[in-house]
């Protein structure tokens, strides 16, 4: 069977794809299992998609793994997911190193349990020299949290006399977001048939193409990822201009 991978054009590859991984709980419930079983199976999809992204030569893949609102979930689920993240990072470090994948994380990382925070910092440190795909985990992240953080930082620079208010521009804002130094995602994928942004990268998604998959995250495989990229490559991105202006280039 031929793969959609062959249909992907190297020239029109997005630099950054972000994914809202959704549907783990519902997937598990449909099978009469508990929600944690869904998260455990979601790890296979994380592995598949990371491998697919590295194979086609993406520069950045961001996965929304935990939001600032997710802390309100039942304690058993929070604890189980935090342990799953620690063990996954621990088990997958070798694979990241072997595949030249650099890890980065965005979010209120200090709010994570100590064990996860340490494991995360260690993996980020040990993969910092790698030059292939950058895998970004959004953990205890929300766009509004990020914006508050950015505004406070910019206000501090102003109050210390290091920045004039009239010099604040879009670059200043980008540089003070958790994603500083990264290109904005050209493509956002959300699984599980939900059509929401859920407080994710609100500033960075200004011009992103949105792709919604009906599949629950634990069912999402490489081919589904390729399908999203192939769909993206068929779209015309106008950035506020008209079609004829885009075709001139
Ligand atoms: C959304 O499904 C999923 C999450 C909140 C957690 C995602 C975490 C993983 C897949 C674990 C491994 C991740 C990494 C990066 C190693 P949901 O629980 O909101 O599902 P529901 O909408 O059906 O309730």
**Given this model, what pLDDT does residue 201 score?**
98
Check whether 134 has a pLDDT greater than 70: yes
5 in any annotated domain: no
81 in any annotated domain: yes
19 in any annotated domain: yes
Token readout for 184 is: 């904005």
Check whether 249 has a pLDDT greater than 70: no
Check whether 2 has a pLDDT greater than 80: no
76 in any annotated domain: yes
Distance of alpha carbon 154 from alpha carbon 176, whole angstroms: 7
**Given this model, what pLDDT does residue 247 score?**
77
**Residues belonging to the chain:** 249
CATH number of the structural domain spanning residue 58: 3.40.1180.10
Q: Which of 18, 20, 22 to probe ligand 1 with, by most ligand atoms within 8 A of CB?
A: 22
For 8-12, 78-82, 122-126, which range has the lowest pLDDT when averaged over its residues? Answer: 8-12
Number of domains the chain is built from: 1
Instruction: Find the largest Cα–Cα distance for the chain.
Output: 63
In the reported structure, the alpha carbon of residue 64 is separated from the centroid of ligand 1 by a whole-number distance in angstroms of 8
**Given this model, what pLDDT does residue 242 score?**
85
In the reported structure, the alpha carbon of residue 79 is separated from the centroid of ligand 1 by a whole-number distance in angstroms of 13
Strands, E assignment, the chain: 16-20, 60-67, 102-106, 134-141, 187-190, 209-212
155-203 confidence digits (pLDDT tens): 999 999 999 999 999 999 999 999 999 999 999 999 999 999 999 999 9
Distance of alpha carbon 56 from alpha carbon 139, whole angstroms: 25
Check whether 237 has a pLDDT greater than 80: no
> What is the average per-residue pLDDT within 126-131?
98
Nearest CA to ligand 1 atom 3: 22
148 in any annotated domain: no
Show which residues are catalytic: 22, 70
**Given this model, what pLDDT does residue 152 score?**
98
**Given this model, what pLDDT does residue 180 score?**
98
- Tokens 């100590």: give the residue: 114
Q: Which atom of ligand 1 approaches the CA of 88 most closely?
A: 16
Q: Are 154 and 165 in contact (CB under 8 A)?
A: no
Distance of alpha carbon 92 from alpha carbon 94, whole angstroms: 5
Check whether 140 has a pLDDT greater than 90: yes
In the reported structure, the alpha carbon of residue 215 is separated from the centroid of ligand 1 by a whole-number distance in angstroms of 13
Q: Are 184 and 207 in contact (CB under 8 A)?
A: yes
> Against a cut of 0.85, is the pTM above it?
yes
160 conformational bin, left if phi > 0, alpha if psi -120 to 50, beta if neither: alpha
Q: Are 127 and 99 in contact (CB under 8 A)?
A: no
Distance of alpha carbon 131 from alpha carbon 133, whole angstroms: 7
**Given this model, what pLDDT does residue 246 score?**
79
210-227 confidence digits (pLDDT tens): 999 999 999 999 999 999
191 in any annotated domain: yes
Domain range for 204 is: 12-142+184-235
103 in any annotated domain: yes
**Given this model, what pLDDT does residue 1 score?**
63
Kindly give the pairing relationship between strand 16-20 and strand 209-212.
Answer: unpaired
213 in any annotated domain: yes
């Amino acid at each position: 069977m031929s793969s959609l991978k062959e249909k992907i054009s190297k020239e029109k590859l997005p630099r950054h794809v972000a994914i809202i991984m959704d549907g783990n709980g519902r997937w598990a419930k449909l099978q009469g299992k508990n929600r944690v079983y869904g998260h455990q199976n979601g790890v296979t999809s994380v592995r598949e998609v990371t491998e697919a992204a590295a194979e086609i030569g993406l520069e950045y893949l961001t996965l929304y793994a935990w939001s600032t609102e997710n802390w309100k979930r039942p304690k058993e689920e929070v604890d189980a997911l935090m342990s799953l993240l620690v063990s996954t990072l621990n088990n997958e470090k070798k694979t990241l190193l072997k595949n030249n994948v650099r890890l980065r994380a965005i979010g209120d990382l200090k709010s994570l349990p100590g064990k996860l925070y340490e494991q995360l910092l260690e993996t980020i440190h040990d993969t910092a020299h790698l030059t292939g795909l950058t895998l970004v985990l959004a953990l205890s992240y929300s766009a509004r949290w990020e914006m508050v953080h950015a505004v406070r930082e910019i206000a501090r620079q102003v109050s210390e006399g290091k920045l004039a208010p009239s010099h604040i521009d879009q670059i200043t804002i980008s540089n003070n977001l958790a994603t500083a130094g990264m290109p904005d995602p050209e493509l956002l994928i959300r699984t599980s048939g939900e059509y929401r942004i859920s407080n994710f990268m609100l500033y960075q998604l200004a011009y992103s193409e949105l792709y919604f998959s009906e599949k629950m995250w634990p069912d999402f495989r490489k081919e589904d990822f390729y399908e999203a990229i192939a769909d993206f490559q068929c779209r015309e991105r106008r950035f506020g201009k008209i079609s004829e202006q885009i075709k001139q280039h």
